[in-house]
Amino acid sequence: MSIDRPTPPRGFSDAEFETRTARCQAMMAEQSMAALLVCTEPEVRYFTGFHTPFWQSPTRPWFVVVPATGKPIAVIPSIGGASMSATWLDDVRTWSSPQPADDGVSLLVDCIAEVAGAYGGGSVGLPMGPETHVRMPLGDLDLLRERVGGFVDATAIIRSLRMVKSEAEIAKHRHICAIVSDAFDELPNLLSTGMTERQAFQAFRAEIVRQGADDVPYLVGATGPGGIDDIIRQPSDREIADGDLLIFDTGSTFDGYFSDFDRNFAFTHADQGAKDAYRAVWESTEAGLAAIRPGATTTEVFTAMNEVLKANGSLGNDVGRMGHGLGMQVTEWPSNTDSDGTVIEENMVLTLEPGLVWESGKAMVHEENLVVRGDGPELLSRRAAPELPII
């Protein structure tokens, strides 16, 4: 059913997880950190390879403790015991959950105490900063903080680990971006005026899967006469008409790694304002691509892109940034903003996403995906056409 396309290997070697853990432990050692606790899906997957959509169930908390030396330790509900034991981990501790009276808290406290004791004391890290949250009931978290004696913020460690990708991760990104590029190329053959937005969504979703994606967790879009004004919408029963603009923005996945880029189309014709807005975001992306290199900052990239938008009469936009990191989540650190200031490193996977509102009050957002190489960006998405495509 799917297209003939070489598929990268699924999963990762044990060596990949050993490297991730060793990099983490080197940063922990600099801070005399005895243990690092994570409890969110991408972090648990990063250290273990445990990959399941079961996280959609909010019922049970899941924990992984990274000790100062040795493999991470899983402290998880028994329903995940078989899957977690099939990963590279050796130490998988389970309890029968849900158990509201003590849903893993005591088991986790004991594990942390054991790990910290073996280290001879030291702090216990937990990500507490931007783009993180603690996935357990606040009442249990308060109890945990009291019994552990407090946590220190480990956001910087997790952030710097996850922002730079391995070649094995990059291969998965490249694969899903190629799939979605091909699916976007098929759109003119799939869509026509008279279809509803909902039918257009279903046709595009089916095409992405036909091209070989595992799933399409993120798909938003909109249509509207002469342009659109909301870029995170779900489809309606509105029929596509002559003169409409369409945006589709999708985060599709291969083996748990995301693409995240959009494309804009006009049906039968477009006015000059829409064409100019499209050209402006395309040129802005060119400026972003030219600014991307190891050592540059996300703020420099933002500024380079924003100058082009301002020169083309942008009235601003509501997105709050012009691109971001990409990985196991559809958006990750860093953000291309006027103050983010993250130093760009080789093998970061990033999006460039300039957007503007033009004089009609409509929005135009454009996006590409890339990996940072020593000499600049390597595009992962197939570069969009420089002029607004008309179907």
Site for a second copy in 302-321 (CB under 8 A): 318-321
- Least gap, CB of 353 to a second copy (angstroms): 11
Q: Is 106 in the site for a second copy (CB under 8 A)?
A: no
DSSP 69-100: SS--EEEEEGGGHHHHHTSS-SEEEEE-S--G
Kindly give, in sequence order, each residue whose CB lies less than 8 Å from that of residue 2, ignoring residues fewer than 6 positions away.
Answer: 210, 211, 212
For a second copy, the closer of residues 142 and 387 by Cβ is 142
- Least gap, CB of 366 to a second copy (angstroms): 15
Amino acid at position 325, single letter: G
Amino acid at position 281, single letter: V
Answer for which of 329, 351, 369, 381 binds a second copy (CB under 8 A) is 329
The DSSP letter of residue 221 is: E
Q: Is 294 in the site for a second copy (CB under 8 A)?
A: no
**Near a second copy in 172-191, by CB under 8 A:** none
For a second copy, the closer of residues 129 and 386 by Cβ is 129
Q: Is 54 in the site for a second copy (CB under 8 A)?
A: yes
**Near a second copy in 3-42, by CB under 8 A:** 10
Which of these ranges, 126-134, 274-282, 305-313, 380-388, lies near a second copy under the rule CB under 8 A? 126-134
- Least gap, CB of 51 to a second copy (angstroms): 6
**Near a second copy in 240-269, by CB under 8 A:** 251
Answer for which of 13, 19, 32, 57 binds a second copy (CB under 8 A) is 57
Q: Is 1 in the site for a second copy (CB under 8 A)?
A: yes
Residue 281: closest CA among 181, 205, 215, 351: 351
Q: How many CB atoms are located within 10 Å of the residue 304 CB?
A: 21
Answer for which of 75, 92, 126, 187 binds a second copy (CB under 8 A) is 126
Which burial class, exposed, middle or buried, applies to 10 when counting CB atoms under 10 A from its CB (0-12, 13-18, 19+)? exposed
